[in-house]
Amino acid sequence: MRKFIFLLFATATMLYSCEYGEIEFSYPTSVYFYNQEYNRNIVVGEGLKFRVGVLLCGVISNNKSRVVKYTIDPSLVTNPSKSVLPSNYYTLGHATDIVIEKGEFIGY
């Protein structure tokens, strides 16, 4: 009889303790330049174009347009074998910001 009561109690405890609940994760929303190393030889006058963009992460879906502000800071280039491309060699779509449109995760 004791075994039966103990077994009944153990079964009831196991069934009572089983609960389904979704685990909610809270990731910080952030953006980053997804290709940070552009080691390319550029020939002036050839019309070479490539897009530098940012990637939105930390969200399941992008429900609104987001503006990412940036600045070009030559003091960040500390490697003596590398240099910043002079500004007369390139054009930017926007001088200080990149827009990630609603529903997208990449902005240019």
What digits encode the pLDDT tens for the residues 70-93?
A: 998 999 999 998 888 888 878 888
* pTM of the predicted protein model: 0.62
- Tell me, yes or no, whether 18 lies in a domain: no
Q: Is the pLDDT of residue 12 over 80?
A: no
- Tell me, yes or no, whether 93 lies in a domain: yes
68: domain range?
28-107
- Tell me, yes or no, whether 71 lies in a domain: yes
Given this model, what pLDDT does residue 39 score? Answer: 64
How many residues are recorded in the chain?
108
Q: Is the pLDDT of residue 49 over 80?
A: no
- Total of domains in the chain: 1
- Tell me, yes or no, whether 76 lies in a domain: yes
Given this model, what pLDDT does residue 37 score? Answer: 64
Question: Cα–Cα distance between 21 and 17 in angstroms, integer?
Answer: 12
The predicted-structure confidence for 20-39, as pLDDT tens digits, reads as follows: 667 777 778 899 887 766 66
CB 73 within 8 A of CB 79: no
